[in-house]
Structure 1
């Protein structure tokens, strides 16, 4: 219970400190840079996911074609 309380207090203190730092020009620039890098990372993750999804869909389509071909040969 004490650990959870300390965690909540730490989060609150961190939030207040970040808010105060963000008021300065250097702090605003820092948080803008962090935000830009986080968005860039998120975009890269989404792009990688979409590429992998396309690869898997192509593999499934190819497998379905092979299965259909084998089924038609066995008849």
Structure 2
């Protein structure tokens, strides 16, 4: 079953190359292939731009989350330090 599928896949690829070669010989075919290539290029450019915009947006969200997390760690550290100082003061005043 796999060999049969691979055979048809390879035959399809070979047929596509033959068809493209025949179409490329005709000036109208060359124009058609040039238009197709141009549209594929535009599509890939749009996809690339969208990917980079999404990447930038996610990077900004991650940077914001890092800032919030760092601020929370700093505040927690300060609170722990204040609690330790208060405990130390309370322990020394009871002695």
Structures share fold, TM-score greater than 0.5: yes
Q: 1:29 Cα shift?
A: 0.5
Q: 1:68 to 1:6 in 2, by over 3 A?
A: closer
Aligned-CA RMSD value: 1.2
Structure showing greater radius of gyration is 2
Q: 1:26 to 1:69 in 2, by over 3 A?
A: same
Aligned mate of 1:39, from 26, 38, 41: 41
**Structure 1 runs of 4+ with >4 Å offset:** none
Unaligned runs of 5+ residues in structure 2 are: 78-95
Unaligned runs of 5+ residues in structure 1 are: none
**How many residues are paired up?**
75
TM-score by length of 2: 0.72
Aligned to 2:30: 28
TM-score by length of 1: 0.89
Moved more, 31-40 or 6-15: 6-15
- Superimposed CA distance per residue, residues 24-51 of structure 1 (whole angstroms, 9 cap, x where no aligned partner): 1110010000000001010111101100
